[in-house]
């Protein structure tokens, strides 16, 4: 089989490479000529563990190629996937579908023979029908079906998530298109992955319901963490105590500085907008969005409080900038709120992130960077752990203590044990562990 993947970003590149690993001929198409040039030269434009080997192997095997030319990409393709960005539309929070619709128009103008058009991007309910209408209007003669096939992979673990998913969701109303989709996901049938076939609308809704539910779970435990601090309880024990209940589940119950990243913030907002448009407001999700927004400022305030109420003229070392470890993705990272708030409060911020500093430098001004965690901490008045990269989990505490001007540690990811930290002489602040006041 052969497919074209339009959009060679975090989702398109991983998905394209994984399909080629399944034995499918994949051509990844992107408008960004620089990105395609780098890929052709064997360079991976994003950081995602394992992706370099996967791409290299499949390029060598002749199953994976890259182009800026959609016609070349779509030649002889059984299916074309749309994996372009759907960011928040500036001003109103709706998903910006201009890239998806532009791709639909380009597909219509290029299509030759029966093609399955698949929306892999996260798109609001109704988008698949609109893609169908756009293509039909431009090419009344074309033979095609539109499917929705939302992606659930997580950055940092994307390859495994794609290769061994909990389920695959396919919104598809034609037998012929279902056959093509079954063919593409054939290796997953062999490992008995549940494949859920639904209507287009249901599939689109599943993606938003999943992401907003997970964002709600995170926000729930964050608020419980705040209460734990007040009442003298430990949020980790609470999370374990409730998470062992099969109806609740243990995942996504880790407190922190609020959810960020390229999906949850924009998807919660987009679903809120869709619900308002349909006159069926989602008040829980509206509150989740509001609580999470406020939390990021509250985390900056927590760092200021740990510094004795003011950071003016002080240096704060910030460890971790990306929204989570094992990615270079800075989109909607909590650091984008926390760092500017510290700067505005008069601090000098010296940051270190293993993969995110180039991206961060494009998005924020006025930060100094260290080349290691220790360099960032050298002479600082406090250190804040904002992203839980593995290398921040086992820092040399004695060295840290020597480097810092004051032994102030604000651990927004709870990677250290409060007792150990206090025993080592640190003034240690974390999230939701009220038993250690
Ligand atoms: P991205 O910004 O990393 O990549 C999008 C790519 O599409 C860019 O390289 C851009 O140049 C390209 N593009 C845009 N219009 C094009 C066109 N007409 N022709 C060719 N290329 C075009 O975005 P992403 O993070 O991969 O997300 C893509 C979609 O997948 C979004 O809808 C997102 O919500 C969804 N999603 C993302 C994740 C994730 O973890 N990043 C997970 C699940 C779903």
For the segment 77-92, what is each residue's pLDDT rounded down to a tens digit? 999 999 999 999 988 9
Domain harbouring 131, CATH code: 3.40.50.720
Is the shortest distance between the CB of 121 and ligand 1 below 6 Å?
yes
* Residue 151 exposed, middle or buried by CB count within 10 Å (0-12, 13-18, 19+): buried
Structure confidence at residue 91 (pLDDT): 83
Work out how many domains the chain is built from and give that number: 2
pLDDT tens digits, one per residue of 222-268: 999 999 999 999 999 999 999 999 999 999 999 999 999 999 999 99
54 contacts 18 by C-beta, under 8 angstroms: yes
Closest-CA residue, ligand 1 atom 41, reads 10
Task: Please give the distance, rounded to the nearest whole angstrom, from the Cα atom of residue 32 to the centre of ligand 1.
Answer: 12
Report the DSSP pairing between strands 348-352 and 79-82.
Answer: unpaired
Q: Do 104 and 251 sit in the same domain of this protein?
A: no
Q: Do 296 and 171 sit in the same domain of this protein?
A: no
Does residue 413 lie in a domain region? yes
To the question of whether residue 35 is assigned a binding role by annotation, the answer is yes
> Does 263 qualify as catalytic in the annotation?
yes
Is the shortest distance between the CB of 103 and ligand 1 below 6 Å?
yes
Does residue 203 lie in a domain region? no
Q: Do 191 and 250 sit in the same domain of this protein?
A: no
Q: Do 184 and 286 sit in the same domain of this protein?
A: no
Q: Do 286 and 400 sit in the same domain of this protein?
A: yes
334 contacts 299 by C-beta, under 8 angstroms: yes
Is the shortest distance between the CB of 84 and ligand 1 below 6 Å?
yes
Q: Do 386 and 319 sit in the same domain of this protein?
A: yes
To the question of whether residue 153 is assigned a binding role by annotation, the answer is yes
Task: Please give the distance, rounded to the nearest whole angstrom, from the Cα atom of residue 10 to the centre of ligand 1.
Answer: 7
Q: Among the atoms of ligand 1, which is closest to the Cα of residue 10?
A: 26
Residue 51 to residues 14, 60, 364, Cα–Cα distance (Å) = 7, 14, 28
CA 139/CA 131 separation, integer angstroms: 12
Structure confidence at residue 436 (pLDDT): 57
Distance of CA 96 to the CA centre of its chain: 17
Does residue 302 lie in a domain region? yes
CA torsion, ordered 81, 82, 83, 86, to nearest 10 deg: -160
Is the shortest distance between the CB of 19 and ligand 1 below 6 Å?
no
Best of 6, 13, 30, 270 for a ligand 1 pocket test (most atoms within 8 Å of beta carbon): 30
Is the shortest distance between the CB of 85 and ligand 1 below 6 Å?
yes
Q: What is the pTM of this model?
A: 0.96
Q: Do 21 and 157 sit in the same domain of this protein?
A: yes
Give me the tens of pLDDT residue by residue for the chain, a chain 437 residues long: 999 999 999 999 999 999 999 999 999 999 999 999 999 999 999 999 999 999 999 999 999 999 999 999 999 999 999 999 999 998 899 999 999 999 999 999 999 999 999 999 999 999 999 999 999 999 999 999 999 999 999 999 999 999 999 999 999 999 999 999 999 999 999 999 999 999 999 999 999 999 999 999 999 999 999 999 999 999 999 999 999 999 999 999 999 999 999 999 999 999 999 999 999 999 999 999 999 999 999 999 999 999 999 999 999 999 999 999 999 999 999 999 999 999 999 999 999 999 999 999 999 999 999 999 999 999 999 999 999 999 999 999 999 999 999 999 999 999 999 999 999 999 999 999 987 55
Q: Do 250 and 316 sit in the same domain of this protein?
A: yes
Does residue 279 lie in a domain region? yes
Task: Please give the distance, rounded to the nearest whole angstrom, from the Cα atom of residue 408 to the centre of ligand 1.
Answer: 40
Q: Do 136 and 242 sit in the same domain of this protein?
A: no
Q: Do 147 and 269 sit in the same domain of this protein?
A: no
326 contact partners, CB below 8 Å, separation of at least 6: 47, 48, 49, 155, 156, 157, 355, 389
Does residue 132 lie in a domain region? yes
Structure confidence at residue 434 (pLDDT): 82
Does residue 221 lie in a domain region? no
Domain that holds residue 303: 234-436
Q: Do 370 and 310 sit in the same domain of this protein?
A: yes
Of 27, 263, 307, 430, which one is the catalytic site residue? 263
| Phi-psi map region of 318: left, alpha, beta (phi>0 left; psi -120 to 50 alpha) | beta
Task: Please give the distance, rounded to the nearest whole angstrom, from the Cα atom of residue 434 to the centre of ligand 1.
Answer: 41
Q: Do 175 and 254 sit in the same domain of this protein?
A: no
């Amino acid at each position: 089989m052969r497919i074209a993947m339009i959009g060679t970003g975090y989702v398109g590149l991983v998905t394209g490479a994984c399909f080629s690993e399944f034995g499918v001929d994949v051509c990844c198409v992107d408008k960004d000529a620089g990105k395609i040039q780098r890929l052709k030269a064997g360079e991976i434009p994003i950081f995602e563990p394992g992706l370099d080997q996967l791409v290299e192997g499949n390029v060598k095997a002749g199953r994976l190629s890259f182009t800026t030319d959609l016609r070349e990409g779509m030649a002889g393709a059984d299916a074309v996937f749309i994996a372009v960005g759907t960011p928040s539309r500036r001003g109103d929070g709706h998903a910006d579908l201009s890239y998806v619709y532009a791709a639909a128009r380009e597909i219509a103008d290029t299509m030759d023979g029966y093609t399955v058009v698949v929306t892999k991007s996260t798109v609001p309910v109704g988008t698949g029908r609109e893609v169908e209408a756009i293509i039909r209007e431009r090419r009344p003669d074309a033979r095609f079906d539109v499917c929705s096939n939302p992606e659930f992979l997580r950055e940092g673990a994307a390859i495994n998530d794609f290769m061994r998913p909990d389920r695959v969701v396919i919104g598809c109303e034609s037998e012929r298109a279902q056959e093509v989709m079954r063919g593409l996901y054939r290796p997953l049938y062999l490992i008995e992955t549940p494949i859920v076939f639904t209507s287009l609308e249901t599939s689109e809704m599943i993606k938003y319901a999943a992401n907003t539910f997970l964002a709600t779970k995170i926000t729930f435990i964050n608020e419980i963490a705040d209460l734990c601090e007040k009442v003298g309880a430990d949020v980790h024990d609470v999370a374990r105590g409730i998470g062992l209940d099969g109806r609740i589940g243990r995942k996504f119950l880790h407190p922190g500085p609020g959810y960020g990243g390229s999906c949850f913030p924009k998807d919660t907002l987009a679903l809120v907008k869709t619900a308002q448009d349909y006159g069926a407001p989602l008040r829980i999700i509206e509150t989740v969005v509001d609580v999470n927004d406020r939390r990021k400022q509250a985390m900056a305030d927590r760092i200021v409080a740990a510094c004795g109420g003011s950071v003016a003229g002080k240096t704060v070392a910030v460890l971790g900038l990306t929204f989570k470890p094992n990615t270079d993705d800075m989109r909607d990272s909590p650091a984008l709120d926390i760092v500017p708030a510290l700067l505005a409060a008069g601090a000098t911020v010296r940051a270190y992130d293993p993969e995110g500093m180039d991206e961060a430098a494009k998005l924020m001004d006025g930060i100094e960077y260290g080349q290691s965690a220790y360099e960032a901490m050298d002479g600082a008045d406090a250190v804040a752990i904002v992203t839980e990269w593995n290398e921040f989990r086992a820092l040399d505490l004695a060295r840290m203590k020597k480097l810092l001007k004051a032994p102030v540690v604000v651990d927004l990811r709870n990677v250290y044990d409060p007792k150990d930290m206090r025993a080592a002489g640190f003034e240690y602040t974390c999230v939701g562990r009220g038993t250690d006041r």
